[in-house]
Structure 1
Amino acid sequence: MSSPHTVDALIVGAGPAGATAGYVLAREGLKVLILDKARFPRQKICGGLVTWKTLRVLEEIFGISPQTLRSQGTLFHSTREYTLRNRRRLLFAEHQRDPFYFVDRGRYDQFWLDKAIAAGADAVQGDRVTGVDPDAGMVHTRGGKTYRGKALIGADGVLSRVKASVMKHAAGGRRHYHGMAAAMVAHVPDREDMAVPGLSFGYVPWGYAWSFPGPGYRNYGMLTLKTRGAKNLRAAFHEFLKSRSGADIRRASIYSRLLPYGCFTDVAGSKCTLLAGDACGLADPFLGEGIFYAHRSGQLAAEAILSTHRVGWSPLNQYRHLLRRSIIYELQFASAWQHILYRLLRLGDYRLLAISMRYFHRPIEDVVQGRRSFNWRHRHNPALYQMAARCLF
């Protein structure tokens, strides 16, 4: 049997987490190979909302401003307006100081993969990983190929094959807040008066529906914790679509998937293997935002590998340290806010949420955008966005 193709860093998954890690590592001269089962651009089920903290981290890593992303079509829409509703009426509407931006994930993910390739990473698309040895950093593909990385990053989504192999090898591995959300998304032809994003509550327990602008269509979606309301998700989603879009849902393109919604793991990898993005369960348990955590964890994984590569040490302990200080701490507080939202603020058909927003919308907006921590005792300082560099030296 021929020896595996060996690289410094092997990355499974070419989404934002994998592409970011590949870009940072290749930029520093490492031999990087990115594998993905799909051929890009590919469809990705997502709300496509991008916050201030995401744009901040993109500018830090890639040196690209929001204005450049907008001019290149990677960001297609922005607005400071938003609305909150229950099933019967509008609860709250406001203008915030930082706009929400929106992306088409097919185009967005392609953009960052191209950046990684331009930095020197190689990419193999359309070949699914079928087997993983996390301790050896080795993967086997459906196409009959075997690849090995001195370091392996699993960035292959919420149903990650790399993560499954890591959890199998990690005796006693546990998850925080076993949260997994079932989600449905529909794309409905856009209307000119539908440019404002909105969230709707009350259709499902422990979840919400969204109505976001898309490029030429309206992005409608709904998520709920899998253990709390997934059984009735389809019926609830159809009710929401009829109430909000007025469209014939039989003609809408409807998709479903699982999303991390509080299932972030403290295992984070095994020896030379690291988990990033959705594969590590890194999404905001409050509203489900995952794009920021994908980019940030990809960067942290790359920084951990770079700090240990020359001496031949395992990057896992360094990565865990970086994750805990700059991501896990925040997600633990976000999980607490998830319980406040769905246990307390839902009282009176979410009227208590409306009252809270009326008096505290500015700090809540700052939390969502990333200017303030989920731990309200302090605002974020620049250490959140520079933690990797500070921890490494």
Structure 2
Amino acid sequence: MAEIKLKHYHVRKGRGYWLVTPKMRAHGFDNVRCGADGPQAWAVAQEWEGRWQRARKGLEASLRKVYPRNSVGHAFERFRLTNEWARKPVRTREDWDRGWRYIEPVFGDLNPSVITLEMLDRWYSKWTSVKGVGEAGRAMKTWRALYNVMAAMKLCPAQQDPSLAIRKTSVPGRRETWTEGEAVRIVKGAWRAGYRGLACIVAVAWDTSFSPVDARTLTPGHAFEAGGDWVFKIQRGKTGEEAFGFLSARTQRLVESYLASLDYELHDAAPIFRTKGFAPKERGGRPRIAVPYQKNSLVDDFAEVRRLVFGPSEKRRLMDMRRTGAVEANAGGASVESIAAKMGNSIDQNKTLQRTYMPVNSAAVRAADESRKIGRRKLGSEQNEFKKLKLASEKS
């Protein structure tokens, strides 16, 4: 098959995609699945590229929808132009866009002041049955945040969101954890299969309890030395909280081996860990250079290594290693404040985070039982009866 280069066309696992930029999305364009990589997929990508180029030059009407003034859609577009929106983390903006997909078809053209409890109740019930509790909950969360924005724009009464009368169903939190031996097997399996950047990400995530996005975006600028140990000092991508992650000697040696294998030098702002890449052999194929891990490529490569090591029935994720660190620390007697400092979040003040990262487990229950025994002995050793003190002075 002849090699062809098309702007904004990318191939992932043998299938072609025309992927848009933020500027293109602002004009109403969205990602397009072009099908199996080949002439037909190329033709689809060329068609969409042509439409974008004509829209960019003003030769064709933009796909961007024009909403009525003071409507929900108009308010959301106004909000997108603010500095407040620009300051939001990328992941947060992605969550808003994902929730907006469910809001826009029903309420996009309406003024928020005319939207009633009954309308929101039918809307939420519909998406719960069609997309499930998780997606419907995301949509409701986005609506409630957008309502506050619209109230600030004087488009609806403040603190009178009718959706607050609807009890949102929560998705049961994940409880899966890994053992240290399983994490080691994943690291070794990834390294042997050529996924060396992924092996380092898993090892770092295990040691530091960093989230997958924080582990994959580490740069040389985050690396420091403290008392002979390597430590990554970051601001968490989701919360902006400062966090420190110390590496074990084993992980430090792994990262050093990975860096020694690179045939290029990393600058301070460059992500350290890269994808596997591909070099054509006798049977041919399209070459792919190793690139910094993105969300989807990390998920896909981890799933592939997980299948190689544990088989197709294993479904635990890389993110579950973060929970494992909290569970181990909690069972070992660490205070919730110490766990919050390690994880770089507000788990010490947030009951929902505690349920997510410190679910009930037998080790923690046994630790509580042992603490009760210690307390029982202390209480039993004390004289709990109060006796009146005679403080009268002696008569001379």
Structure-2-length-normalised TM-score? 0.23
Comparing both structures, which one devotes a greater share of its residues to helix?
Answer: 2
Comparing both structures, which one devotes a greater share of its residues to strand?
Answer: 1
Structure-1-length-normalised TM-score? 0.23
Higher relative contact order (CA 8 A, sep 6+): 1
Structure having the higher Rg: 2
